[in-house]
Amino acid sequence: MKVDGNAIAGPLAEVFGRDVTLAVATCAGCHESGVIARTMVYATAMGAVARCAHCELVLMVLGGRPGARMLFSMPGVSSLELMPDEPTPDEESVGTAQRAGGGLSGSHSS
Amino acid sequence: MSFITRGFSGRNRERDPNLPPGQTLVEDWPVLSAGPTPDIDPADWEFVVVTENGRRSWNWDDFHALGVEDVTVDIHCVTHWSKLGMAWRGVPLDKVFDEVETGHDYVMAHSYGGYTTNVPLDELLDGQAWIAFEADGEPLSPEHGGPARLLVPHLYFWKSAKWIHGLVTMPRDDPGFWEQNGYHLHGDPWQEERYW
Amino acid sequence: MTRRPAGWHAATVRAVTVETPSARRIEFEVPSWPGNDAGSHVDVRLTAPDGYQATRSYSIASSGETPRVVLAVDEVPGGEVSPFLVHELQPGDQVELHGPLGSYFVWGPDGEQRPVQLIAGGSGVVPLYAMAEVRDALQEVRRDATPFRLLYSVRTPEDRFFAPELSRFAGRGLDIRYVYTRQAPDGWAEPVGRITRETLAAAVWPVEQRPSVYVCGPTAFVEAVADWLVALGHEPRDIRTERFGGG
């Protein structure tokens, strides 16, 4: 099943302790970068493989025994950039998160 | 601690003595992929074997000339589905290794697109494995691994690498793609060797 | 957006109502819920008596600082989780939810002057509905709420999610355009069939308005629409996408 990085937000939140769909990953192959939400994800019952939307390199893999031990690797991510986590403010923050991506979004074609 | 969901039992997973443990018979043929489906023209296709003694390759026609046979086998996916009595057509790996010498005991299968999986060499011989072009009487569709895939039915089906490009012999049982990501190095369904 | 921690929560079913012939609206009470932005999703996990677990993601139709989480689940024939949620789940039952998840495919009022374009394929309407609902609530308070358009592709009128609510929103400034792919209401003037580049071009905010676009639905739908939007001149960075499986 071909989806995108939004689909693995849950398992990645287990790894990182927070939602990382807006984290910016740099591809170790083509050096383009973009938010995790825009990676191309091939998800099956075996696990999930997140690929660079620009060059198709395998960025991240989620495998392991379901419900028992998760196995996470980032063989194709040379760096990951996240904004610091914040306490939940009392009022709604003003300003939409604007980390929409560049190269990792590729041309949108499959 | 997770609690049981009232009324949920998952798929019917009754133990069927004809199937390895934890498997369920299916009528369709599920497609699982770790990446985009490669587009390979048989005219451009090659099958390569690399050993410590060198490199040997065949084009589509030369490879078929090694000798094609029909077999009927059961296949078992680690994601719990099985198909019994599937008709396949391909070149047995015995014919390939008649043409190649190696002292290595293990093989890494490499696919177009970059997928890899490891298998002991002796488990590819003696009628246990083929390079297959047809399934159920039809040429293998791209989504199922066409034009050719490795077929090793006595192991979980992730070992039957789709879009096979070639085999590289190796002295150690190095892990392929899924074997690096939590899946069993060997993968015998009857021993339920699914995960590390 | 408000940063909210993602966690596992025990959720109690308060109501299950018929949304369409194949879908149910499920309202959960989740006392530990930190609230969620419009567009976020949740992973629902079910556990069988033998310990077997199945998890699926569903977009949240509700939003805000509330312990109420509303999903709209369409049954996938032969699926493992959705038939259970649609046919078996009853008020009083408990499931596990992981969330809120997703900080990319979310919308909240932000003082931007740019209009918003929502494009939904089938059950992809759920997160977009959540956004439209926020906008509608704002409209009651401020007359200058962000202009929204919704392009909603659906098989038949009976398959529309949130039809009554969307109707009310339409009366308050939400510009809704439906594309029926199998069967349209009597007297429908538009062609019946899959959305085309031309239909899309005619329905969406013009490029000059620089809309903020959200596209959600099956992967093939999302990719076709996103490609057409780029071909029409919209900037890729202005188009946010969320793909469901299933082509």
Specify the pLDDT at position C247.
Answer: 39
pLDDT tier at B104, thresholds 50, 70, 90: very high
Chain C: partners with 3+ C-beta pairs within 8 Å: A, B
pLDDT of residue A102 exceeding 60, the answer is no
Contact A72, A60 (CB under 8 A): yes
Using DSSP's 3-state secondary structure scheme, residue C197 falls into helix
Of C41, C103, C108, the CB nearest to A22: C103
To probe the interface with B, which of A4, A40, A46 has the most B CB atoms within 10 Å? A46
At C234, list the tokens. 């919209």
CA distance C212 to C239: 6
CA distance C138 to C143: 8
Nearest CA in chain B to A49: B34
Of B35, B79, B114, the CB nearest to A46: B79
Whose structure tokens read 């379901």? A66
Using DSSP's 3-state secondary structure scheme, residue A106 falls into coil
Distance from CA of B17 to the nearest CA of C (A): 19
Sheet containing A24-27: give its strands across.
Answer: A33-35, A24-27, A77-81
Q: What is the largest CA-CA distance in chain C?
A: 57
The tens digit of pLDDT for each residue in C69-125 reads 999 999 999 889 999 999 999 999 999 999 999 999 999 988 777 999 999 999 999
Whose structure tokens read 């689909």? A7
**B45 in reach of chain A (CB within 8 A):** no
What pTM was estimated for this model as a whole?
Answer: 0.92
Q: Where are the beta strands (DSSP E) in C114-202?
A: 116-121, 148-154, 175-180
**A93 in reach of chain B (CB within 8 A):** no
Whose CA is closest to C100, among C217, C11, C19?
C11
How far CA C168 is from CA of B50, B70, B158, C63, C118, in Å, comes to 68, 64, 51, 18, 17
Complex-level ipTM: 0.94
pLDDT of residue C64 exceeding 90, the answer is yes
Cβ <8 Å between C53 and A67: yes
pLDDT tier at A87, thresholds 50, 70, 90: low
The DSSP element (H or E) to which B120 belongs, if any, is strand B116-120
Cβ <8 Å between A18 and C112: no
Residues of chain C found within 8 Å of residue B13, distances taken between Cβ atoms: 52
Instruction: Find the range with the poorest average confidence among A41-45, B11-15, B84-88, B129-133.
Output: B11-15
Residues of chain B found within 8 Å of residue A68, distances taken between Cβ atoms: 195
The tens digit of pLDDT for each residue in C10-23 reads 999 999 999 999 99
pLDDT of residue B70 exceeding 70, the answer is yes
**B183 in reach of chain A (CB within 8 A):** yes
**C48 in reach of chain B (CB within 8 A):** yes
Of C34, C52, C219, the CB nearest to A3: C219
DSSP C78-99: T-SSHHHHHHT--TT-EEEEEE
Chain-centroid distance, C-alpha C82:
16
